[in-house]
Chain A
Amino acid sequence: MDIFLLEAVLNGVMFGGLLALLALGLNLIFGVIDVVWICYAELVMCGMYTIYWLHAVYGVPFPLAAVAAILLVALLGVLLHRIIIEPILGSAPINQLLATGGLLFFLQSFATLLFTTDFRNVGIHLPSLELGDINLGYARILAFAVALVGAAALYLFLARTYLGTAIRAISQDREIMGLMGVDQRRIYLITSAIGGGLAGLAACLLVLQYDVHPFVGLSFGPITFMICVLGGLGNMIGGVIAAFIMAQIIAIGGYELSVEYSEVLAFLVFIVLIMVRPQGILGK
């Protein structure tokens, strides 16, 4: 096997972990609240800027900056739900998607206004792991590991805790759960906080590999939505599998063709798959 192809595949696996983490938060929100946060990638951008300012500009240690970013984005998630989603929970789902789209515009342009369109680097350069001729950046390995741990933690939380059970229950039948004594509003706010927190966690990992700029969300936002739909919106395990499939298409396609064509390929695969299996790859 071609050594460079192998490197591309391995990098694809690492990238898949990151995409899976991104998709998890979005999937949780969709499964529980039945809303698509089209501005999800822009929340990640907010987290990336937080780390950049705290760490690169004010010299706060990275772990502390990372925690601050996770908390801040979790708070943003709660505010997003409380201020924008809650008043229109009863209207057509597409309206909620479009309202968060308004927030996408706002966050992008507000970031441009505050920080200009400069590309900013957090200034941490982790070395590469060399396995023979293959180079694997530690930043990617770290992202992969943290993403897996995050996914496992979310799984355990949903499967084993009382709150997690309530969240899963409400995603199955939102009318009945009110009668069972579950405070729907509280569950929604907690879910939004977790969804936001996951976006914050993704931001901590992305900032180690990519520069921050106001439009950074556009480079991984759309692919995240495709992954959620492919996995079956609201289906966590399906989302993780879809993330690895898409990451491989992009990694191998990028190696064989070019970056843009590999993404075109990924979107075309999405369009075909959604028509073959609109319920997602793991859907019933």
Chain B
Amino acid sequence: MNRSWIIAGVGLAALALVPFVASPYVLHIAVQILIFGVIYTAWSFMGRFGLTSIGHGAFLGIGAYTTALLWNLYGVTPWIGIPAGMALSVLLALVIGYPCFHLKIVGHYFALVTLALGQVIALLVIAARDVTGGSLGMTPTQVGESIFAFQFPNRTHFYFIALALWLLVLGVWYWVGYGMRRAALDAIGEDETAAAAAGIDVMREKLRITVISAAITSLGGSVLTQYLMYLNPETVAGVGISLQIVFAAIAGGMYSALGPTVGALLTLTLTESLRILFGTHFIGAANTIYGILLILFIVFLPRGIMGLIEQFSLFRGTREKESRLPL
């Protein structure tokens, strides 16, 4: 226990130093890794307990567009816009989640319902092109460095915002994932009927993680938009980004706290290095390799990179214990 606290402390200190040593380009990537880390972690809240959503783009899109539209059309500060987006996402999660869980829609069926949900939001954004700019996307009105407008062109400032957010979400992860609740959720993931028979309120537990997941995804979408200052239905809603979320979380390892962030690190590094390597001449090269990797991960490594690391260290741990056993 003590050792892991020391490792965490050193890690945090190293993360806090990043903006002072990294080049602006590296810092730009680091901010995105942290924000996508938040989004992928949010998905894993549901994913690790067997609620596989392939429509999380819906919540991402609601967060991004609510914040940007309120700001552009009515001058409402993102400090209200972001919670408003989260509230809308939570509402949608409840409207969809309640009947789904009530009717025991699971597995394929649940995945396809979420797919439809993602499509609905993406199509609505495209259809309302008068205000959202449709497929061309939109930019929030820029006012320069402003706390009121939640705009921080200074990357270092944004880095610390993203870092704080990421730590907060990790905190939520530990809060959700420990004690009886964790056991209850694991039981639900294994066998719903048996869990219900054991006295677990399946509906309440599932709704709780769905709502948390939707709220954080929405928050991630808003913050991402405030950082990139551009949004379009392809990048924050729809099938593409929804699948990207699933894959990055699985590749990193959705069962461990740091897994989804490792997924963000892996995918963004891969995309960026392929972009540098091939330039824009080979559009699609990154996603081609990405696609193959994902198939390989699901076939050979369904618990992701962190799963592999944990398995390895667990194995080492048991060996140490075994050697201490009195003969």
Binding site for B on A (CB under 8 A): 36, 38, 84, 87-88, 91-95, 97-99, 101-113, 116-117, 214, 218, 221-222, 225-226, 229, 233, 258, 260-261, 263-264, 267-268, 270-271, 274-275, 278
Contact = CB atoms under 8 A, between A and B. Distances in A.
B283 A267 contact: no
B297 to A, nearest CB: 8
A88 B116 contact: no
Question: Looking at chain B's contact residues, is the secondary structure mostly helix, strand, loop, or mixed?
Answer: helix
B105 interface: yes
19 contacts: A36-B108, A38-B54, A98-B52, A98-B246, A98-B247, A99-B295, A103-B295, A104-B291, A106-B287, A106-B291, A108-B291, A109-B285, A109-B290, A110-B288, A110-B291, A113-B285, A116-B283, A261-B123, A267-B123
B38 interface: no
Nearest to B296: A102
A261 B127 contact: yes
B250 interface: yes
B108 A93 contact: yes
Contact of B294 (A102, A112, A264): A102
Given A108-B287, A267-B116, A271-B96, 4 more contacts: A101-B247, A113-B288, A275-B99, A278-B103
Contacts of A263: 119, 123
B111 interface: yes
A31 to B, nearest CB: 12
Nearest to A280: B109
Contact of A270 (B100, B116, B283, B290): B116
Chain B, interface size category, equals 35 or more
A98 B111 CA distance: 10
A227 to B, nearest CB: 11
A88 B299 contact: yes
A102 B292 contact: yes
For A88, A92, A110, A267, which residue has the most chain B Cβ atoms within 10 angstroms?
A267
B143 interface: no
Interface of B: 50, 52, 54, 96, 99-100, 103-105, 107-109, 111-113, 115-117, 119-120, 123-124, 126-127, 238-240, 243, 246-247, 250, 282-288, 290-295, 297-299, 302
A105 B243 contact: yes
Residue among B104, B240, B294 with max Cβ neighbours from chain A (10 Å): B294
A263 B125 CA distance: 12
Nearest to B121: A264
Contact of A112 (B96, B126, B283, B295): B283
B120 A264 contact: yes
Given A101-B246, A105-B243, A268-B120, A113 B54 contact: no
B283 to A, nearest CB: 6
Closest 8 CB pairs of A and B: A106-B291, A109-B287, A112-B284, A102-B294, A260-B127, A105-B291, A102-B295, A109-B284
Nearest to B246: A98
Contacts of B246: 98, 101
Contact of A102 (B107, B247, B302): B247
A108 B285 CA distance: 11
A187 B284 CA distance: 35
A260 B122 CA distance: 9
A211 to B, nearest CB: 16
A275 B292 CA distance: 35
B298 A98 contact: yes
B123 A106 contact: no
Contacts of A105: 243, 247, 287, 290-291, 294
Nearest to B240: A218
A51 to B, nearest CB: 21
Question: Which of A38, A87, A92, A271 has the largest number of chain B CB atoms within 10 A?
Answer: A271
A109 B123 contact: no
Contact of B298 (A102, A214, A233, A278): A102
A268 B127 CA distance: 15
A98 B246 CA distance: 8
A36 B109 CA distance: 10
Contacts of B298: 88, 95, 98-99, 102
A229 B71 CA distance: 39
B112 A275 contact: no
Contacts of B107: 92-94
Contact of A222 (B115, B127, B297): B115
